[in-house]
Structure 1
Protein backbone atom coordinates (compact mmCIF):
# COMPACT_ATOMS: atom_id res chain seq x y z
CA UNK A 1 0.00 0.00 0.00
CA UNK A 2 1.41 3.38 -0.98
CA UNK A 3 1.63 6.32 1.38
CA UNK A 4 -0.88 8.19 -0.79
CA UNK A 5 -3.56 5.49 -0.58
CA UNK A 6 -2.90 5.04 3.14
CA UNK A 7 -3.40 8.75 3.73
CA UNK A 8 -6.55 8.71 1.60
CA UNK A 9 -8.02 5.83 3.61
CA UNK A 10 -7.20 7.53 6.91
CA UNK A 11 -8.49 10.89 5.67
CA UNK A 12 -11.79 9.34 4.51
CA UNK A 13 -12.25 7.55 7.83
CA UNK A 14 -11.35 10.66 9.85
CA UNK A 15 -13.63 12.94 7.83
CA UNK A 16 -16.55 10.53 8.23
CA UNK A 17 -15.88 10.14 11.96
CA UNK A 18 -15.37 13.84 12.72
CA UNK A 19 -18.52 14.78 10.81
CA UNK A 20 -20.75 12.71 13.09
CA UNK A 21 -22.70 13.91 16.13
CA UNK A 22 -20.81 11.42 18.31
CA UNK A 23 -17.51 13.14 17.57
CA UNK A 24 -19.01 16.53 18.40
CA UNK A 25 -20.38 15.10 21.65
CA UNK A 26 -16.94 13.68 22.50
CA UNK A 27 -15.29 17.05 21.84
CA UNK A 28 -17.92 18.89 23.90
CA UNK A 29 -17.46 16.31 26.69
CA UNK A 30 -13.71 16.83 26.64
CA UNK A 31 -14.19 20.60 26.99
CA UNK A 32 -16.62 20.01 29.85
CA UNK A 33 -14.10 17.74 31.64
CA UNK A 34 -11.43 20.40 31.12
CA UNK A 35 -13.72 23.11 32.56
CA UNK A 36 -14.69 21.01 35.56
CA UNK A 37 -11.03 20.21 36.23
CA UNK A 38 -10.16 23.92 36.40
CA UNK A 39 -10.62 24.27 40.18
CA UNK A 40 -8.62 21.06 40.74
CA UNK A 41 -5.63 22.66 39.00
CA UNK A 42 -6.28 26.15 40.33
CA UNK A 43 -6.96 27.43 36.81
CA UNK A 44 -3.21 27.40 36.34
CA UNK A 45 -1.26 28.35 33.26
CA UNK A 46 -0.54 24.66 32.64
CA UNK A 47 -4.27 23.89 32.80
CA UNK A 48 -4.93 26.55 30.15
CA UNK A 49 -1.95 25.44 28.07
CA UNK A 50 -3.32 21.89 27.86
CA UNK A 51 -6.55 22.99 26.15
CA UNK A 52 -4.81 25.58 23.98
CA UNK A 53 -2.21 23.09 22.74
CA UNK A 54 -4.77 20.34 22.21
CA UNK A 55 -7.16 22.50 20.22
CA UNK A 56 -4.32 23.99 18.16
CA UNK A 57 -3.02 20.55 17.19
CA UNK A 58 -6.50 19.28 16.32
CA UNK A 59 -7.25 22.40 14.27
CA UNK A 60 -3.94 22.10 12.42
CA UNK A 61 -4.62 18.46 11.49
CA UNK A 62 -8.26 19.12 10.57
CA UNK A 63 -7.21 21.73 8.01
CA UNK A 64 -5.43 19.00 6.02
CA UNK A 65 -8.32 16.56 6.36
CA UNK A 66 -10.87 19.16 5.25
CA UNK A 67 -8.72 20.17 2.28
CA UNK A 68 -8.23 16.54 1.25
CA UNK A 69 -11.97 15.86 1.45
CA UNK A 70 -12.80 19.00 -0.48
CA UNK A 71 -10.23 18.18 -3.18
CA UNK A 72 -11.68 14.67 -3.64
CA UNK A 73 -15.27 15.98 -3.72
CA UNK A 74 -14.39 18.72 -6.21
CA UNK A 75 -12.52 16.32 -8.46
CA UNK A 76 -15.42 13.85 -8.46
CA UNK A 77 -17.89 16.63 -9.22
CA UNK A 78 -15.72 17.90 -12.09
CA UNK A 79 -15.56 14.42 -13.61
CA UNK A 80 -19.34 14.11 -13.38
CA UNK A 81 -19.86 17.53 -14.95
CA UNK A 82 -17.38 16.69 -17.70
CA UNK A 83 -19.35 13.53 -18.45
CA UNK A 84 -22.62 15.47 -18.62
CA UNK A 85 -21.05 17.96 -21.04
CA UNK A 86 -19.55 15.18 -23.12
CA UNK A 87 -22.82 13.24 -23.26
CA UNK A 88 -25.03 16.22 -24.09
CA UNK A 89 -25.49 16.65 -27.83
CA UNK A 90 -25.87 20.43 -27.68
CA UNK A 91 -23.18 21.08 -25.08
CA UNK A 92 -19.92 22.78 -25.93
CA UNK A 93 -17.14 20.21 -25.49
CA UNK A 94 -14.68 23.09 -25.17
CA UNK A 95 -16.07 23.48 -21.64
CA UNK A 96 -14.63 20.12 -20.61
CA UNK A 97 -11.81 20.47 -18.09
CA UNK A 98 -12.26 24.25 -17.68
CA UNK A 99 -10.72 24.07 -14.22
CA UNK A 100 -7.34 23.53 -15.86
CA UNK A 101 -7.40 26.86 -17.75
CA UNK A 102 -5.63 29.99 -16.57
CA UNK A 103 -7.52 32.96 -15.11
CA UNK A 104 -7.57 34.95 -18.36
CA UNK A 105 -9.19 32.08 -20.28
CA UNK A 106 -11.71 31.50 -17.49
CA UNK A 107 -12.54 35.23 -17.50
CA UNK A 108 -13.23 35.09 -21.26
CA UNK A 109 -15.62 32.16 -20.80
CA UNK A 110 -17.26 33.81 -17.78
CA UNK A 111 -17.78 37.06 -19.70
CA UNK A 112 -19.27 35.19 -22.65
CA UNK A 113 -21.75 33.30 -20.50
CA UNK A 114 -22.63 36.39 -18.48
CA UNK A 115 -23.41 38.19 -21.75
CA UNK A 116 -25.54 35.23 -22.91
CA UNK A 117 -27.42 35.24 -19.60
CA UNK A 118 -28.04 38.98 -19.81
CA UNK A 119 -29.31 38.64 -23.37
CA UNK A 120 -31.64 35.81 -22.30
CA UNK A 121 -32.95 37.81 -19.32
CA UNK A 122 -33.57 40.78 -21.60
CA UNK A 123 -35.72 38.58 -23.85
CA UNK A 124 -33.18 38.03 -26.61
CA UNK A 125 -31.74 34.81 -27.95
CA UNK A 126 -29.86 32.91 -25.27
CA UNK A 127 -27.30 31.16 -27.50
CA UNK A 128 -26.80 29.22 -30.67
CA UNK A 129 -28.62 26.16 -29.26
CA UNK A 130 -31.82 28.20 -29.05
CA UNK A 131 -31.23 29.40 -32.61
CA UNK A 132 -30.91 25.78 -33.79
CA UNK A 133 -34.02 24.72 -31.87
CA UNK A 134 -36.05 27.58 -33.28
CA UNK A 135 -35.01 26.86 -36.86
CA UNK A 136 -35.50 23.09 -36.48
CA UNK A 137 -39.07 23.36 -35.27
CA UNK A 138 -40.91 22.49 -32.06
CA UNK A 139 -39.60 18.92 -31.78
CA UNK A 140 -36.20 19.82 -30.29
Structure 2
Protein backbone atom coordinates (compact mmCIF):
# COMPACT_ATOMS: atom_id res chain seq x y z
CA UNK A 1 0.00 0.00 0.00
CA UNK A 2 1.41 3.33 -1.06
CA UNK A 3 1.77 5.95 1.61
CA UNK A 4 0.85 9.55 0.84
CA UNK A 5 3.26 12.24 2.03
CA UNK A 6 2.30 14.93 4.55
CA UNK A 7 2.84 17.62 1.90
CA UNK A 8 0.52 15.90 -0.56
CA UNK A 9 -2.15 15.31 2.11
CA UNK A 10 -1.98 18.98 3.08
CA UNK A 11 -2.36 20.04 -0.55
CA UNK A 12 -5.28 17.65 -1.10
CA UNK A 13 -7.07 18.52 2.16
CA UNK A 14 -7.04 22.31 2.06
CA UNK A 15 -10.72 22.43 3.00
CA UNK A 16 -9.88 20.66 6.30
CA UNK A 17 -7.57 23.42 7.51
CA UNK A 18 -8.57 25.42 10.55
CA UNK A 19 -10.14 28.83 10.17
CA UNK A 20 -7.03 30.36 11.73
CA UNK A 21 -4.82 28.72 9.07
CA UNK A 22 -7.07 30.08 6.32
CA UNK A 23 -6.98 33.52 7.98
CA UNK A 24 -3.17 33.44 8.17
CA UNK A 25 -2.94 32.48 4.50
CA UNK A 26 -5.22 35.35 3.47
CA UNK A 27 -3.40 37.82 5.74
CA UNK A 28 -0.03 36.78 4.31
CA UNK A 29 -1.38 37.22 0.80
CA UNK A 30 -2.81 40.67 1.55
CA UNK A 31 0.15 42.15 3.46
CA UNK A 32 2.60 41.09 0.75
CA UNK A 33 0.87 43.18 -1.92
CA UNK A 34 1.14 46.84 -2.89
CA UNK A 35 -2.27 47.98 -1.51
CA UNK A 36 -1.20 47.12 2.03
CA UNK A 37 1.99 49.13 1.61
CA UNK A 38 0.00 52.12 0.37
CA UNK A 39 -2.42 51.73 3.28
CA UNK A 40 0.52 51.89 5.71
CA UNK A 41 1.98 54.87 3.85
CA UNK A 42 -1.45 56.54 3.99
CA UNK A 43 -1.61 56.06 7.76
CA UNK A 44 1.77 57.77 8.08
CA UNK A 45 0.65 60.65 5.85
CA UNK A 46 -2.56 61.10 7.87
CA UNK A 47 -0.45 61.06 11.03
CA UNK A 48 1.89 63.72 9.63
CA UNK A 49 -1.00 65.93 8.50
CA UNK A 50 -2.70 65.61 11.91
CA UNK A 51 0.09 67.46 13.75
CA UNK A 52 -1.81 70.79 14.00
CA UNK A 53 -4.71 69.07 15.81
CA UNK A 54 -2.50 67.72 18.60
CA UNK A 55 -1.73 70.01 21.51
CA UNK A 56 1.14 67.88 22.77
CA UNK A 57 3.96 66.88 20.40
CA UNK A 58 4.91 63.91 22.59
CA UNK A 59 1.34 62.52 22.47
CA UNK A 60 1.39 62.94 18.67
CA UNK A 61 4.55 60.83 18.46
CA UNK A 62 3.21 58.23 20.91
CA UNK A 63 0.11 57.78 18.73
CA UNK A 64 2.09 56.61 15.69
CA UNK A 65 4.43 54.50 17.78
CA UNK A 66 1.50 52.73 19.45
CA UNK A 67 -0.27 52.07 16.15
CA UNK A 68 2.96 50.85 14.55
CA UNK A 69 3.79 48.60 17.52
CA UNK A 70 0.37 46.94 17.53
CA UNK A 71 0.41 46.31 13.77
CA UNK A 72 3.98 45.04 13.94
CA UNK A 73 3.21 42.60 16.73
CA UNK A 74 0.17 41.19 14.93
CA UNK A 75 1.95 40.92 11.59
CA UNK A 76 5.02 39.26 13.09
CA UNK A 77 2.87 36.58 14.71
CA UNK A 78 0.86 35.96 11.53
CA UNK A 79 3.87 35.94 9.22
CA UNK A 80 5.88 33.70 11.54
CA UNK A 81 3.01 31.22 11.53
CA UNK A 82 2.87 31.31 7.73
CA UNK A 83 6.65 30.97 7.52
CA UNK A 84 6.65 27.99 9.88
CA UNK A 85 4.04 26.20 7.79
CA UNK A 86 5.95 26.94 4.57
CA UNK A 87 9.13 25.64 6.18
CA UNK A 88 7.37 22.44 7.27
CA UNK A 89 6.04 21.90 3.74
CA UNK A 90 9.52 22.46 2.27
CA UNK A 91 11.03 20.04 4.76
CA UNK A 92 8.48 17.39 3.86
CA UNK A 93 9.32 17.82 0.17
CA UNK A 94 13.04 17.54 0.92
CA UNK A 95 12.40 14.37 2.94
CA UNK A 96 10.53 12.80 0.02
CA UNK A 97 13.28 13.85 -2.41
CA UNK A 98 15.90 12.29 -0.15
CA UNK A 99 13.83 9.11 0.11
CA UNK A 100 13.47 8.93 -3.68
CA UNK A 101 17.19 9.49 -4.20
CA UNK A 102 18.02 6.83 -1.63
CA UNK A 103 15.70 4.42 -3.44
CA UNK A 104 17.36 5.30 -6.73
CA UNK A 105 20.83 4.65 -5.34
CA UNK A 106 19.71 1.35 -3.83
CA UNK A 107 17.88 0.29 -6.98
CA UNK A 108 19.46 -2.50 -9.03
CA UNK A 109 17.67 -1.44 -12.21
CA UNK A 110 15.74 1.47 -13.64
CA UNK A 111 12.57 -0.65 -13.94
CA UNK A 112 12.53 -1.42 -10.21
CA UNK A 113 8.97 -1.08 -8.82
CA UNK A 114 10.29 0.46 -5.57
CA UNK A 115 12.06 3.16 -7.58
CA UNK A 116 8.91 3.81 -9.60
CA UNK A 117 6.86 4.08 -6.36
CA UNK A 118 9.39 6.49 -4.86
CA UNK A 119 9.38 8.59 -8.04
CA UNK A 120 5.56 8.68 -7.97
CA UNK A 121 5.62 9.82 -4.33
CA UNK A 122 8.16 12.48 -5.27
CA UNK A 123 5.92 13.77 -8.06
CA UNK A 124 2.91 13.75 -5.70
CA UNK A 125 4.71 15.60 -2.90
CA UNK A 126 6.32 18.22 -5.09
CA UNK A 127 3.33 18.62 -7.38
CA UNK A 128 5.19 17.78 -10.58
CA UNK A 129 3.12 17.44 -13.69
CA UNK A 130 3.35 14.58 -16.11
CA UNK A 131 5.01 16.23 -19.12
CA UNK A 132 5.56 13.29 -21.46
- Per-residue CA shift, 1:58-106, capped at 9, x if unaligned? 1111111121011111011011111111112128xxxxxxxxxxxxxxx
**TM-score, normalised relative to structure 2:** 0.61
Gaps of 5+ in 1: 92-140
**TM-score, normalised relative to structure 1:** 0.58
Q: Larger RCO: Structure 1 or Structure 2 (Cα < 8 Å, ≥ 6 residues apart)?
A: 2
User: What CA RMSD, in Å, does the superposition of the two structures yield over aligned residues?
Assistant: 1.7
Bigger Rg, which one: 1
**Equivalence for 2:10:** none
Indicate yes or no: 2:46 matched with 1:30.
Answer: no
Note the C-alpha offset of 1:9: 1.1
Deviation beyond 6 Å, 4+ runs, structure 1: none
Indicate yes or no: 2:105 matched with 1:90.
Answer: yes
- Per-residue CA shift, 1:103-127, capped at 9, x if unaligned? xxxxxxxxxxxxxxxxxxxxxxxxx
**Distance between the aligned counterparts of 2:31 and 2:56, measured in 1?**
29
Paired residue total? 88
Note the C-alpha offset of 1:46: 2.6
Gaps of 5+ in 2: 1-16, 107-132
**Equivalence for 2:72:** 59
Note the C-alpha offset of 1:43: 5.2
**Distance between the aligned counterparts of 1:20 and 1:54, measured in 2?**
20
